[in-house]
Structure 1
Amino acid sequence: MKRTPRRTWPSTVIGILLLAVMLFPVYWMVDASLQPTGNALRAGWFPSHPDLSGYATALRDQGRNLVTSLVVALGSVVFSLALAVPAAYALARFTLRGADLVLLGVLVAQTVPGIAVADALYSAYGDLGLVDSRLGLILADSTAGVPFAIIILRSSMRNIPREIIEAARVDGAGRLRVLGRVVLPLSVNTLVTAAVFTFLFSWSDFLFALTLTTTGDVQPVTLGIYQYLGAHTDRWNAVMATAVLASIPSAVLLALAQRHITAGATDGAVT
């Protein structure tokens, strides 16, 4: 048996240095959020006397925006999967005329610049009354989540052995029951992957938020931070505290779903 070569200490040192460089902005963000009010460039390397006033200000000023971002992101996940699951199942398991053209259209949708979609949606939203609404942002953010979810779910569902589906059909299960009781449980890793990335698309969206909202009534946290910088450039502890709070949901979600994402990325590879 061949022995696995041991990692030498130079490679370990290089790995640690690269990791430190990548994580340094995160450390600086947390450090600056715990400093007293003032210029972030004057902050020390370690908050010897942590000050939580920045978090109090962030929660007071941006708490509503954080809730809006959470509602929009979760709504986009639900809406995207509600459309993508049956569409992917039909493209994967049914013999449909023009299915290749539909899949090509889904792929092309991924290449359309976001600003073009935002401009088109703004014109339509003006007639539908969806400007400055959470529903409007959910629909807009789903334009990125739906194509991505269809692509990876279709590939995953195609890899399910046909014998399993045929056995369920022989037992009397209808198509919807096969989808809900057989296909979806076998595609759970890809479902989680699609849900997580759709959540991240929506949570980090700035373009649609900037284009489709004109007042402060409905404002995601990304837009709140952008406007916060212009209004409170001398209160960097509050700005960084908002950034920390905005990073927590994504970090927690990725940590919890890491195992599913690793498996789902392989299951949903385009074939």
Structure 2
Amino acid sequence: MSKRKNWILSITGIVIVGLFLFPVYWMIITAFKTQNEVFQTPPTFFPQNFQLDSFLTVISGGVGQYFLNSVIIAGCATIVVLLLSVPSAYGLARFKVRGIGLMMLVFLVTQMLPATVVLTPLFVVFNNTGLLNTYVAPILATATLGVPFSVLLLRTFFMGIPKELEEAASIDGCGRLRAFLQVILPISLPSVLVCGAISFFFAWGDLIFSITFNRDQELWPLTAGIFNAIGRYGIEWNNLMAFATISVLPVIIIFVLLQKHLVEGLVSGSVK
């Protein structure tokens, strides 16, 4: 009976995963189809005439600049989030801070607010400081929403690390900062990488901040530049899907490389 239950659960899981991944599969195969095959009835589930013209069209259309902009914005936003959230989360986990309950509540509330709530205040601030039409505006905007999430997540992880590790390091002559850099960070590296990946994914998929704070299309990321893949007199679906495939490729690669850290224990093997 247990074996039958395992088979049912496995089949159910495969079906659910297939349903979630089918749109991604359809996007990719559409990018390799001709425009005529895209509208063919009945639809084909694999390209009959495998072609790369749509990718060449998109690449020659300036996707490289959009890709570079996305890398700059997402990469710098991730660095800002980690530089601010990692020491902040460690301090909130190790030291007694007055009003920490209210602070955590405020951080939690910020995660419930849509991006449009902070859009106008940030626009006013960036306009007064001369940061509009620069990379700095979307970087700071996405980091503003990423820092509270990372602090909430990392604080819980740091609280789970035994204090005995730091006490043992202090006996060996390590100060608080050295113990944090040489003992705590290596142990919590999987969690830090997960927060970095989530922050990168959030910044990579940002659209509203980039098009609001940057009127210059030369500074737009892939999410905003994808509109240029739409034809003037109609949507060229194979070109559009080629653009979308290029856009999600870095996310898929990063997720595959970091998937083991998503399930790896935070302090596994740290205390024997």
Amino acid in structure 2 at the alignment position of 1:52: L
Structure 1 position 225, deviation (Å): 1.3
Amino acid in structure 2 at the alignment position of 1:44: T
Separation (CA, whole Å) in 2 of partners of 1:16 and 1:102: 41
SS in 1 for 2:218: coil
Amino acid in structure 2 at the alignment position of 1:192: L
Amino acid in structure 2 at the alignment position of 1:262: V
TM-score by length of 2: 0.89
SS in 1 for 2:44: coil
Structure 1 position 44, deviation (Å): 3.1
Separation (CA, whole Å) in 1 of partners of 2:168 and 2:54: 59
Q: Report the counterpart of residue 225 of structure 1 in structure 2.
A: 226
Separation (CA, whole Å) in 2 of partners of 1:238 and 1:29: 11
CA offsets 1:185-242 (integer angstroms, 9 cap, x no match): 1111110110110011011111212221212120010111134336473322111001
Q: Percent of aligned positions with the same letter in both sequences?
A: 33
Q: Report the counterpart of residue 24 of structure 1 in structure 2.
A: 22
Q: Give the length in aligned residue pairs.
A: 265
SS in 2 for 1:5: helix
Structure 1: segments with no counterpart, 5+ residues: none
Amino acid in structure 2 at the alignment position of 1:50: F
CA offsets 1:14-73 (integer angstroms, 9 cap, x no match): 444433332221121111111224583336332122111111122222221111111111
Separation (CA, whole Å) in 2 of partners of 1:68 and 1:178: 37
Q: Report the counterpart of residue 236 of structure 2 in structure 1.
A: 235
Structure 1 position 266, deviation (Å): 10
Structure 1 position 74, deviation (Å): 0.9
Q: Report the counterpart of residue 45 of structure 2 in structure 1.
A: 45
Structure 2: segments with no counterpart, 5+ residues: none
Q: Report the counterpart of residue 136 of structure 2 in structure 1.
A: 135
Q: Report the counterpart of residue 58 of structure 1 in structure 2.
A: 58
Q: Report the counterpart of residue 33 of structure 1 in structure 2.
A: 31
SS in 2 for 1:51: coil
Q: Report the counterpart of residue 203 of structure 1 in structure 2.
A: 204
* CA RMSD across the alignment: 2.3
Question: Is 1:159 equivalent to 2:160 in the alignment?
Answer: yes
Amino acid in structure 1 at the alignment position of 2:210: A
Separation (CA, whole Å) in 2 of partners of 1:117 and 1:39: 44
Amino acid in structure 2 at the alignment position of 1:58: V
Amino acid in structure 2 at the alignment position of 1:148: F
Separation (CA, whole Å) in 2 of partners of 1:221 and 1:26: 17
SS in 2 for 1:233: coil
